[in-house]
Amino acid sequence: MSADHTNEETTADNRFNWLFDASLIILAATSTAVVVVAGLVQVSFGSYSMTFLEAWRAVFNLDVILDARVWNAFLFGGELPDIGERSLIVWNIRLPRVFVAVLVGANLAVSGAIFQAVTRNELASPFILGVSSGAGLAILLTLVVLPGLTIVIPLIVGQFVLSTSNLLPLFASLGGIAAFLVVYVIAWRGGTSPVRLVLAGVIVGTVFSSLQTALFFFADDIGVVQNAVAWTTGSLRGTDWEQVRIALPWTVAAVGLAVAGSRQLNVLLLGERTASSLGMSVERVRFALSGVAVLAAAASIAVAGIVGFVGLIVPHMVRNIVGSDYKKLIVGCLFAGPALMVAADVGARLGMGVLTGSEAQQIPVGIVTGLIGGPYFLYLMRRQQNMGEI
């Protein structure tokens, strides 16, 4: 048996050949265009009025983009040099929100894609294994039980102040991760299976959601309730570079691991038995990949709360376009997730203004993604005969 097929082209093995796939490139280009256009719309509107042209000039202001001190301020929290009023508003107030949306969209999409492979179910979302209910409960507990908490930790230089508002993101993420671990413990009996995991997710989700709803009765003022609703439906209101700094390292880690694990995901899709006879330690790989997905979900929860539907729809849309090869799917999600999230946030921030005329009104972005997600699934249901298993 000779291998005469193995010519120069295939022996010169290229790790990234698969990236040059027409549908993937089109998807990436379209998504990038959506992000740019929606981002430019976002920076052009706001209470400080400027024209489109002024806003766009501020975005592409090379004095800002090429200044290392500015980036030091943005990414590491250093002191911001004087960059002019318009640039300040665009770069320090409006653009960070777009960047956070990009990070949240990428995280949720990748997380959903992983969970869909792990559970072999294309209706799985980042929150299928209890993450959202755990995070929601943690959010309510923090807001209701520790409303005005301030802890001052004296340090040698100055002091470190912990208050409810800056503990909330941490608690929300930890709540989600804890719920995921509880789900795994419940599902474990000498090993686990997709069905057991999903069932355990439903069990934990039901109990935690009940507790979360019960806690609403202990919230004594409307502000706390609104804050809780914003967090549990997901909102990008008031996000700035601080949120970018929180989410970015985790996003990079989670996305890197997801891309590296895409071949494992592909083999996992062949079913547990096949994966196991091919030499995969299925339980270990499944837990590790779920952990990566939970990390991505937790990073997005920390900055935006629990944004629904993005992690469910995006992998689905991408799969319809590039197929179920996870190498392409994950990369596709990295583009399509931000596109959906940034576009939805335009609706969340500016939509109410268009509808009611009052510019101050904003709705949580999770409401918009839900309004997009429902009809999309209706459309799929009509078009596709069988949905469910990948």
Partner 1 sequence: MKPEASEDKGRVEDEESAENPSDIVGENLVVGYGAGENVIENESMVAEPGKVTALVGPNGSGKSTLLKALANHLAPDEGVVSVDGSEINDLNKKEIARRLSMLSQESISPDSITVEELVTHGRYPHRGFFETMTKEDREAVERAIELAGIEHLRNRELGSLSGGQKQLAWIAMVLAQETGVLLLDEPTIFLDLRHQLEVMRIVETLRDESDVTVVVVLHDINQAARYSDRMVVLKDGCVSARGKPEEVLTEELLADVFGIEARVENTDRGPRIEPLRPTEDDG
Stretch 14-43 residues interacting with partner 1 (CB under 8 A): 15
267 binds partner 1 (CB under 8 A): yes
Nearer to partner 1, 268 or 346 (CB): 268
Measured CA to CA, the distance from residue 129 to residue 292 in angstroms comes to: 13
**Buried/exposed code over 127-160 (b: 16+ C-beta within 10 A; e: otherwise):** bbbbbbbbbbbbbbbbbbeeeeeeeeeeeeeeee
- Binding pattern for the stretch 291-330 against partner 1, x by CB under 8 A and - elsewhere: --------------------------------xxx-----
Q: Does 191 bind partner 1 (CB under 8 A)?
A: no
Smallest distance, partner 1 to C-beta of residue 293, A: 18
Name the segment binding partner 1 (CB under 8 A); options: 9-17, 34-42, 72-80, 371-379. Answer: 9-17
Reported in sequence order, the residue ranges of the chain that DSSP labels E, i.e. its strands, are 150-154, 159-163
Residues in contact with partner 1, counted by CB under 8 A, come to a total of 28
CB of 184 to partner 1, least distance (A): 21
- Decide if 93 contacts 46 (C-beta within 8 A): yes
Binder among 13, 79, 82, 221 for partner 1 (CB under 8 A): 13
Alpha helix ranges (H) inside 217-281: 222-233, 241-260, 262-268, 272-277
Nearer to partner 1, 97 or 327 (CB): 327
- Residue the block writes with tokens 């990079």: 252
Contacts of 53 (CB under 8 A, 6+ apart): none
Site for partner 1 in 234-263 (CB under 8 A): 260, 263
Residue 49, Cβ density class (10 Å: 0-12 exposed, 13-18 middle, ≥19 buried): exposed
Asked if 274 touches partner 1 (CB under 8 A), the answer is yes
DSSP secondary-structure letter at 324? S
- Candidate segments 8-16, 51-59, 124-132, 157-165, binder of partner 1 by CB under 8 A: 8-16
Find, among 91, 87, 51, 45, the residue nearest to 360 by Cα.
Answer: 45
Q: Are 340 and 310 in contact (CB under 8 A)?
A: yes
Q: In angstroms, give the least distance from the CB of 108 to partner 1.
A: 22
Single residue of 36, 41, 270, 372 touching partner 1 by CB under 8 A: 270
278 lines the binding site for partner 1 (CB under 8 A):
yes
What residues make contact with partner 1 under the rule CB under 8 A? 1, 3, 5-6, 10-11, 13, 15, 260, 263, 266-267, 269-271, 273-274, 276-281, 323-325, 389-390
